[in-house]
Structure 1
Amino acid sequence: MELRHLEYFVAVAEEANFTRAANRVHISQPGISAQIRQLESELGAALFDRSTRVATLTAAGKAALPHARATLAAAAGVRDAVDDVNQLVRGRLAVGMVTACTVTPLFDALAACRRAHPGIATDLVEDNSDRLVDRVRAGTLDLALVGVAERPPADLASLTIVSERLVSLVPSRHPLTASAALRLSELCSQPLICLSTGTGVRSVLDRNCAAQNVTATVAMQASAPDAVADLVRRGLGVAILSESMAASYPDLEPIPIVDADLEAVLALVWKPATSPALRELLDHARRAFMP
C-alpha cells in the first residue's frame, strides 16, 4: 500500500466520481480506477459500490476513510516538519481569477512565489466571480481574485485591491456626451451593454438599480470588458463598467453615474485556515498589489 493509493481513495470518496477525482489528482480516469482496484485487492475488500454512476463508499470504505485521511495528514506533517528545518515550502495551489481579466500584479505575485519556492505548483482557473467565491468556500480553490459588490464576503478572509464606482461609456459622438453626469433612471432608458450575470460589476449594477427602484434595459451582455467595449464602438448601446475598466478604452467617453453609490470591489478571497504554501503566495500578493 502506497500513500498515492490513499490519496486516490480519498479523492474518489470526496468527489463521489472517478472522473472528477482523476482530474483532481491529475491522472487519467482508467489510471485512478486501476489504482483503487489494486488498493482493494491489497485490503481484500471493495471500497466503492460501482453499481451506479455515483461512487458510493461501501461499509469497508466508510471504515477506511478516516484512517486514510489521518495517514495522509501525518505524512504531510512529516514533510512540513522537514521543510521547516530546510526552510522549504511545497504544495499545490488552485488559484481563481475573473474570466478575461488580466491583472498584472497577480501574475507578478505568482511568478515571485514560484521563484522563491519552486516546490509550490499552481493551477490557474478562470470563471465568473460568483462561482469563484463558491469554489473558495467549497475548498476546491485556495485563493481567488474576484469582483464583488460593496465589500468582500464576510465569511472569507480577504484583501481588497480596489473599490471604485461604476461609469457609463459611450462613443465620442453619442448624444449622451452632452451630459456631464447621468442618473441611473436616465441610463436605464438606454440599451445597456453589461458584463454577464455573476460578475462583480453586474452585481453592483443590479444592486444600484434595485436601490433606486429602476429597471435596467440590458440589450446585450458579455463575459469580458473588451467585448463590452467593442459592442459599444459599434453603436449597440451604452456600456456599464468600473472606473478602472473604462480607463482602458481611451477612444470611448466615460460619463459618471451620480446615484450609483454602491461600489465595485476587486478583492482576493480565501478561507481563513491557510496552508504554508498559501501563506507564502499571500505574502507575495500583498507586496505585488500594495508595494
Structure 2
Amino acid sequence: MELRQLEYFVTVAEEGSFTRAAEKVHVAQPGVSAQIRRLEREFGQELLDRSGRSVRLTEVGTAVLPYARAALAAVAGARLAVDELTGLVRGHVAVGMVTSHGVDLPGLLARFHRDHPAVEITLTEGNSDVLAASLRDGRLDAAIVSLGTAPPADLDHLVVTDEAITAAVAVDHELARHHEITLDDLRDRSLICLPPGSGIRSHLDSACARAGFTAKVAFEAGHPLALAQLAARGLGIAILPDSVARNQEGLHPLAIVKPRLRGKLVFAWRADGPASPAARALLALARRTLGKEDVID
C-alpha cells in the first residue's frame, strides 16, 4: 500500500469524479485509476462504485475513507514536525482574494516565493463571503477580503485599505451638479453594483436594510472599472470605492452621506492561527509588508 494510492482514493471520493481528481493531483486519469485498482486488489474489495454517472463510495470504501484520511494527515503532521525542527519551510499555501483591490498581493507572493521557493502557492479569486467560508473550513490559509463592520470572532485580520464608498454618475447626469447624496436619495434610483457577497455590496445592502429599503440594482458586474464604465454611459449610479469613483474619466463622484459608508479590505486568517509553517511564514511576511501594523483581533 502506497501513500499516493490513499491520496488518489481520498481525492476521488471527495471529488466524485476520476477526471476532477486527476486534475487536482496533477496526474493523468489512467494513472489515478490504475493506482486505485491496485489499492482495491490489496484490500480484496472494491472501494468505489463506478456504475453511475458519478463515482460513489462502496460500503467498504466508506469504512476505509476515514482511515485513509487519518494516515495522510499523520504523514503530513510528521513532515511538519521535522520542518519546524529543522527550520525548513516547504509545503503549500492557499490564498484567496476579492475580484478587485488595491493591495499589492502579487508583490507579497513574489517575495514569499523568493524566500521560500519550495512552497507551492495557489491563488483563488472570489467574493468575500465565499472566501471567508473557505478560510473557516481550511481550504484557504489567508485571503484579501472585506469583513464588514462587525468582523467575525473566528477570523483575525490585518487592515490593509480603508476608504469611503462613493456614488458616481455620468458627467451629464442630472445629479452631476451635486457633490453629495444621502443614502435615502438612492432609494428609488437605478444602481450599478458589485454582486452580492462582495464587500462593498454587503455594506450597501446592510445600510439600505437599516434604512428600511432594498437597493434597486439595475446592473451588476464583478469589477469596479466595469461599473464605472456603465455609469459613465448614463445607465445609473455606480457604487464604488472612492479611489475609483474619483479617478475615472467621464464620471462625477458623489459622496454618500447620512450615513457615510466605508469599506475596509483586510488580510484575514483563521483566529486559531495558520496550520502549517508555510502559512505562518506567509502571515509573518504580510504583517511586515502590507503597510499597517494594527492587527485587529
Amino acid at match of 2:175: L
Do the aligned partners of 1:152 and 1:265 also contact (CA within 8 Å) in 2?
no
Letter in 1 for 2:62: K
Greater displacement, 19-28 / 211-220: 19-28
1:155-213 Cα distance to aligned partner (Å, 9 max, x none): 33333323433211123343323223211222233322111222111111111111112
Q: Within 2, Cα distance between the matches of 1:141 and 1:89?
A: 18
**Match runs of 1:3-14 below 5 Å:** 3-14=3-14
Q: Note if contact 1:151-1:265 (Cα within 8 Å) is conserved in structure 2.
A: no
SS in 2 for 1:265: strand
CA distance in 2, matches of 1:77, 1:211: 47
Deviates more, 1:203-212 or 1:80-89: 80-89
CA contact (8 A) 2:84 2:277 kept: no
Distance 1:3 1:103, change over 3 A: farther
Instruction: Tell me the secondary structure at the aligned position of residue 165 of structure 1.
Output: strand
Paired amino acid for 2:212 = N
Distance (Å, rounded) in 2 between the aligned partners of 1:41 and 1:245: 60
Instruction: Please state how far the C-alpha of 1:221 moved relative to its aligned partner.
Output: 1.4
Does the residue aligned with 1:11 lie in a helix, a strand or coil?
helix
Is the CA contact (8 Å cut-off) linking 1:148 and 1:203 kept in structure 2? no
- Which stretch shows the higher mean deviation, 222-231 or 101-110? 101-110
RMSD: 2.4
> What is the TM-score normalised by the length of structure 1?
0.88
In structure 2, the partner of 1:289 is 290
Aligned length, in residue pairs: 290
Shift of 1:248: 4.2
Where does 1:245-260 land on structure 2 (aligned, <5 Å)? 245-249=244-248, 252-260=251-259
**Pairing of 1:1-291 with structure 2 (within 5 A):** 1-99=1-99, 101-249=100-248, 252-271=251-270, 272-274=272-274, 275-290=276-291
SS at match of 1:240: strand
Structure 1, gaps ≥5 residues long? none
AA in 1 matched with 2:46? A
SS where residue 113 of structure 1 aligns?
A: helix
Return closer, same or farther for 1:67/1:29 CA change in 2, 3 Å cut-off. Answer: same
User: Offset of 1:120 from its aligned partner?
Assistant: 0.9
The unaligned stretches of length 5 or more in structure 2 are: 293-297
Following TM superposition, by how much is the alpha carbon of 1:277 offset from its aligned partner in structure 2, in angstroms? 1.2
Quote the Cα distance in structure 2 between the aligned partners of 1:89 and 1:119.
7
Tell me the SS of whatever aligns to 1:264. strand
> Could you tell me how far 1:115 is from its partner in structure 2?
0.8
* More deviation, 59-68/203-212: 59-68
Q: Contact 2:46 / 2:60 at 8 angstroms: preserved in 1? A: yes
Identity of aligned residues (%): 49
Matched residues in 2 for 1:30 and 1:135: separation?
30
**Alpha-carbon distance in 2 for matches of 1:83, 1:199:** 37
Would the aligned equivalents of 1:106 and 1:288 in 2 still touch at CA under 8 Å?
no
For 1:4-62, what per-residue CA distance to the aligned partner results, in whole angstroms no more than 9, with x for missing partners? Answer: 11111222233344344333323344432222112112332212223334433334323
- Indicate how the Cα distance of structure 1 residues 134 and 29 shifts in structure 2: closer, same or farther if over 3 A, else same: farther
Distance 1:216 1:253, change over 3 A: same
Q: Distance in 2 between matches of 1:72 and 1:215?
A: 48
Task: Check whether the contact 1:194–1:220 (CA below 8 A) recurs between aligned residues.
Answer: yes
Further displaced range: 116-125 or 102-111: 102-111
Structure 1 CA distance, aligned partners of 2:211 and 2:147? 19
TM-score of the two chains, using structure 2 as the length reference: 0.86
Q: Secondary structure at the match of 1:257?
A: strand
